[in-house]
Chains A and B, each alone.
Chain A
Amino acid sequence: MHQGIRRSNCLDIWTVENNDIIKKWKLSERIQEVTLRRHDTRKRYYSEILRLLQKIQGVPSVPAGILLELTVLYNTLLFAISVSEFTETGVLLTQGIVRALESLGCQAPSSKPIVLWHTALQTFTDTDHLTHLHQLLCAQWALWLCTGQLENFLDLLSDAQEEATSPSGDLLAVIRDVGFYIEENPTLSVAMAPRELKELAHICTVTTKGIRRMEEGKDSEALLAFQEAVSQPAPRTLLAQLHTLTGICLAKLGRPQSAIQCYRKAMEVDFSCQSSLYQSSLLFRQQGNVQAEMEALGLLHAVVTSPVCRQASSSQAPLLSADSLLQSQAFSCILATPSPPVVQHALAQQCLNSERIPEAVEHYLDLLASLQADGKPLMNMSGSPALPRIPEIYLEAAFVMLKAKRYCDAVAICEEVVNKTVDLVPERLELGIPIEEDQRPGSTTMPATVSGRNKEIMEQRLNYVLWAGASYLLQGQAYGYMKDNTEAVTSLTRSINLLVKVHIKHKDWQCRDAGDWEAAGLKVQTLQRMKGLVLASRGVSFLHNGKQKEALCDFQLSLQTYPGVEHTELWLIEALWQLGRKEEGMAHWRRRTQGSTKRPTPVENTPRGLPLYLQSCLQDGISVEPEGLKKKMEDLIHSRGVLT
């Protein structure tokens, strides 16, 4: 009796202690705002409540104390899961059930969780015990969700409620019919209401299933799962994510309009749902709706960079959230949004593509600044789309500057790239064709390591050549626009000197038609295209300097390197005209006009996949006026015709 009183006193003290811890934690959670601190706080309270649990478990388990012990265990488990101590959670859980069984005088049959649970669920029959046991079961469910062992739960349930299970073993059906005794005990505080946890675990289970179906490529099944999940009560953030997932499935199933509806719903539910914005921008891009895509990207950028939105999403989070339960790689992959630089780069490129140059300039400048800014280290690691290499971003920025007529800025940006790359360029670089084919195998296999490393070095050096060459090309063009033709010739000559260091080793290879290009690989194609552009640009500068012969030579070389560029052909004819070789010019003109009628689309000026900064028409601003030249030629042809 005396013992009993003391014990009951102890139980009272522990109850108070448990309630105190929970109360203090809730208070501090309300004060704390920063996620990092919150994590530390939870760790601290986890260790406190763990100490309490250890105290309780220090005495042999008796039926009187088992309810308190189970509640404290439940709280401890929640804290443990929230700080990602999964292994420890599992151990604690097993210990707790064993002790509960011991309190009734049963011997635990095994240490396997499923067996234990079977025994426990069969052993306890009164409502009080079942209520607490079901609380723990919710925690177990959450743990299995976190560790990706949902099948265990399925097995457990199907065994426990065999009569209710449909023969197909459909997980959804099982879960739908799960009945829990989860009444709250007003005298014992819990960190999170069991009902709340159950709902969360349920919706997360459905979501996980949908994601698995998606991974397996069964989009329509996934769609069903997500649609069911959406109908459940869920936290705002998760609901928005579910809408987004539904939208992704719909988009994959070829229903873009419905998908957009879903994304819109997601935005309505949670204003800062980045994934829906990003997905809608992707969808708009597929549909070719540039305007809408840019709007979506702009909103996304605003959301990603605005600190208010991030803060709002992180405040007032429960101890366990959907994020912590849905820890599968696939979930974060599917809903991943790119980091702000990637968004801004996409936005800038779209502005450039749709000729909104001033905006593009702003975006590129912002992007460069944000990439260089201190204090923003280690960006998102998830599988979001990639940024191009940093030098290429610089070159794109320079190209945009050129288009915006900010020539000095373009020169300065290029100078930066030149300074960093030009001394890394080797004297001679021999390339086999195709270079990219050899690269695919042997990324990890042992024999290929050496050759793989060599390929990597090769590729890197080719990159240096291309970057430095492109920088000089853009510089030369900038000088050309500034009418400083001497400087332009200098820069372009430097570019040519760099580009000719690359030797292509292939005896049969010739760039005659598109098929050859495909075979050669993008890098070589880029190289040749750049050579052609540089030569033609230098020709133009020579022509402006009054050196027609050199200009003619350059134009001819350019067309030899990269045939079929219309502007270069026109310049060639112009050079011939200025040299007084009108007959030849006329011959070229005739061949050209005949060729163009025969082949309505000559080799494209800007083939797909080429870097953005090479898509310039040859010095647009000062190019030959095709109309004027045409008139000259036609006059000449006419006069000759009359004469003969």
Chain B
Amino acid sequence: MAGLRCCVKAVAEFGASSRPASVIRFGTEPEAILSNGGSRLFTCNRLESGVTAVHQFAGRVTGVVPSADGRGLYALCQGDGVYFTPLPHGPRTLSPTAVCSADRSTLTRLEVSAASCVVHDHGVRSFTVVGTVLVTVAPRTASGASACTRSPHRTSHRPAARNDQSSAFQRCPWPAPGGTSRPLEGAAVLEPLLFRLLFGVDAALLFSPMILCGLPDGRLCCLPLLLPGASEVKGQAARVRVLHSLEQPIVFIGASGGRGLVAVGRGGTVLQLWGSGGPRGACWGSRSAGCGALWSVRASATRTCTTAPAATCWPCRWPGPRPPLLPHGDPLSLNVCRVLALATPTLDPTGAVQLLAVSLTGRLLLVTLPQGSDGGHVSMASAAQAGQRIRDLLTIIRTTSDRASCLKSSVRSRSAVLKSLNHIFNVCCLLRTNQDAGDAVTARQRPIRCGVAVRWSSLLQRDSVTLSCVLEPGWTLCVQLVTPPAQAPPTQAPPAQAPPTLSYAFLLRPLPPGGKLAVAVPLGRSGLVSLLLTVQCSLVYSLQSMLGQQEAGALLGAGLLSLPLDTLTVDWLDCLRAQGPGPGPSSAPTWDPVRTFLKSRGAGPGLGAGPGLGAGPGLGAGPYAACIRVSSELLRAALRAPGAGGPALSSALITHLLPERPGGDTHTLTAEEVTVGQLCAVGPVSAVELRVHSASLRTVCALHHAALRRLQALLKDVAMTTNPLLQVEGQTLQQVLCEAQRESDPIQVYRRLRECPLLIL
């Protein structure tokens, strides 16, 4: 027989006895309770300090069970009943020094009186405590025994079931973890499958504790504590069921690490019950093995220790992955002799297994086993369980993939939205640089530009004016035409209100860099068009395109993002430029657009002016003309042509007014340098005279007006910096122009200008 070398230390001494003894230890607490089979119970507060308290009972103590809270213990006196006695509270509350100072003289002697008797029944053979319930086994009649339950302090006394003969031992396995109840001190915990196989689904569903009872005839019985009685549940077997018969008195029932239930008979037969799943359904198996006569058995998760009369201890290991086989190989001798009883093995802080033992000579021994390796636990699953597991996993995979694809599409749409938002933001930045740069950057250098051109078109013998807007990269172009208030018919809207506008929206295709987009906006049929329009171009982005109609509506209202682009002005001069013969295609010389235009204004040469117009003083019936004089110096400053003089300056002015045609339209606009002498005290002032010729009086007026407006815009900045003396005249001009703008009839303006020809200084 293989042996182990153990460290043995005698920690306490008490009366020797050859009767069955027992020793109880509360987990790893230093406290131990000893019974040597006599009428006294010994308590060791600390293993080092020896026996500290003695409880004297009326009769022989044959069973000791600690109470659930560890504050007291229940003891069964043979032929008397069950007593409850509180433990001296010392060890857990006293400081270590106080304990050290306690010597043998402080040994407490406690007489357990009849008043502390909990169950007075001389027939009780064995008992156990489950929470607040005390279960006793006692022979009731000559042929039967009955288990009685009662709470230690209250409730009724009721026969529960009948068994044959008296019992020897009992334990209560508690349902495996997952139950709501707390585990019990000293209770065996079985794994769920085994629990259900042995005790049924009903007990498992109710988390009912089970009472296991080994009878002297070797039968192993179980009894549910919570389940309604046998007669109350259909199809349920009798309340107390016999699990197995060992055919010898059962001295120990316990769990081996939850995986198996172990019952040991006095003759040394060891019965094991374990559960296993298989293709034919889960079932429980049992096997027994003999290992000689035994006195005391204790089990822990990894080993069972037994005491035999031969006075050796055998730790039996069951490390295997299969159902734990109890005597795995040969039992190992601990080489400790004359041992009567053992306490449940515990682990000390270093991980070594410790055993408390009571020797024949009445000594309490602390046996420390050498550290050994215990085999790992490999869980085995049946094919059915594996199949179920795979199915579960597949289900999870499917659910996950559904979820993943859903998330993916959401991410995709989100990134698309982000992309377009980025685009919008970029455009916003570009436009901002537009605005920041202001006038410093010329229009041609802006990244996004907008320009207008006016074209005439003739369709079905009707001439109409079309405004073409040209936009370089962008999205939706929105063109608003604002008619100045002066030209709006007074009946339509009061002047305080916003000027009448017309909006056009164009969907933009993606434009390549440097690309252009031209859109045409009809201005109306000829004759009905009033020029001097403000064209406001803006880029509009609809957020609906990225979020969908409803969401965008809910979140952003209209969901439109509008970025102002350019504000341009269109006047008669633009019309001239657009239709002038110079840059136009040479294919249309036969058809003079200007003439057409003039004709359309109802003032063609052939038609002549109305009699009212022609009756003005100094006005002939022939071509009409008007002139504007601008001081050369001022003009030079405005046009930034310092060295230029004479014809160069004149042509520069024409070029400014009609930039597309450097040569100028001699028929319409001429500019020449003149000297004006008599105007003011400074002396003769050189000036440029801009003349407007036309056969139509209305044309002259309109052109004159447009030219003046442009000159005003040109000179606005320069006027501030020039000679203050000359400024007066400029102001006069400005006043006149303001009046002219207010004047509804251009004829009146013309007349005034004619009457006092102005010189713009």
Contacts and interface: CB of A to CB of B under 8 A. Distances in A.
Interface stretch (B10-18, B197-205, B521-529, B738-746): B197-205
B173 to A, nearest CB: 16
Interface in A318-352: 338-339, 341-342
B154 A36 contact: yes
A416 B175 CA distance: 14
Interface in B194-253: 196-197, 201-202, 204-207, 225-237, 239
A388 B233 contact: yes
A128 interface: no
A427 B233 contact: no
A358 B279 CA distance: 43
Interface in B159-175: 159-161
B728 interface: no
A582 interface: no
B228 A379 contact: yes
B201 A424 contact: yes
A375 B131 CA distance: 8
Interface stretch (A88-96, A250-258, A389-397, A546-554): A389-397
Contacts of B231: 381-384, 386
A608 interface: no
B234 A387 contact: yes
B234 A386 contact: yes
A385 B231 CA distance: 8
A340 B388 CA distance: 39
A193 to B, nearest CB: 28
Interface in B381-433: 383-385, 388, 391, 395, 398-399, 402
A386 B131 CA distance: 27
Q: Say which size band chain A's interface belongs to.
A: 35 or more
Nearest to B402: A486
A101 B535 CA distance: 143
Contacts of B206: 371-372, 390
B157 A36 contact: yes
Given A43-B120, A384-B231, A389 B384 contact: no
B625 interface: no
Nearest to B227: A390
A234 interface: no
Given A377-B149, A386-B231, A372 B133 contact: no
B385 A423 contact: yes
Given A40-B120, A387-B232, A427-B280, A490 B157 contact: no
A213 interface: no
A380 interface: yes
Given A372-B180, A377-B133, A39 B157 contact: yes
B400 to A, nearest CB: 12
Contact of B388 (A34, A377, A422, A486): A422
Interface string A458-488: 0101011001000000000000000000100
A112 interface: no
B236 A377 contact: no
Given A374-B131, A424-B201, A381 B280 contact: no
A389 B232 contact: no
A42 B395 CA distance: 67
A486 B154 CA distance: 54
A461 B228 contact: no
A423 B228 contact: no
A426 B388 contact: no
A35 interface: yes
B160 A342 contact: no
Interface in A389-421: 389-391, 394, 416-417, 420-421
B158 interface: yes
Contact of B205 (A342, A417, A424, A456): A417
Contact of A386 (B232, B279, B385, B391): B232
A378 B158 contact: yes
A391 B205 contact: yes
A11 interface: no
A463 B132 CA distance: 34
A374 B233 contact: no
Contacts of A34: 154
Contacts of A372: 180, 206-207, 226
B202 A389 contact: yes
Q: Say which size band chain B's interface belongs to.
A: 35 or more
B277 interface: yes
B235 A36 contact: no
B279 A426 contact: yes
B193 interface: yes
Contacts of B131: 374-375
B639 to A, nearest CB: 77
Given A372-B226, A375-B133, A389 B236 contact: yes
A425 interface: yes
A385 B207 CA distance: 23
Contact of A376 (B196, B201, B202, B226): B226
A394 B156 contact: no
Contacts of B350: none
A377 B154 CA distance: 13
A424 B278 CA distance: 9
A462 to B, nearest CB: 11
A339 B280 contact: no
A388 B120 CA distance: 37
Interface in B266-282: 277, 279-282
Given A36-B157, A378-B158, A421-B201, A384 B232 contact: yes
B549 interface: no
B225 A378 contact: yes
B181 interface: yes
B282 A424 contact: yes
Given A371-B206, A372-B226, A374-B131, A425 B201 contact: no
Contact of A389 (B155, B193, B196, B234): B234
Contact of A391 (B161, B202, B227, B277): B202
A490 B395 contact: yes
Nearest to A421: B201
A420 B229 contact: no
Contacts of A376: 226
B185 to A, nearest CB: 16
B228 A339 contact: yes
B468 interface: no
22 contacts: A35-B156, A36-B150, A36-B155, A40-B120, A342-B228, A372-B226, A378-B149, A378-B229, A380-B229, A380-B232, A382-B231, A385-B232, A386-B234, A389-B233, A390-B202, A417-B205, A422-B388, A424-B193, A424-B196, A426-B281, A427-B280, A467-B201
Interface of A: 34-36, 39-40, 43, 338-339, 341-342, 371-372, 374-391, 394, 416-417, 420-429, 456, 459, 461, 463-464, 467, 486, 490, 494
Given A374-B132, A374-B226, A486-B398, 4 more contacts: A36-B155, A374-B131, A376-B226, A390-B205
Interface of B: 120, 131-133, 149-151, 154-161, 180-181, 192-193, 196-197, 201-202, 204-207, 225-237, 239, 277, 279-282, 383-385, 388, 391, 395, 398-399, 402
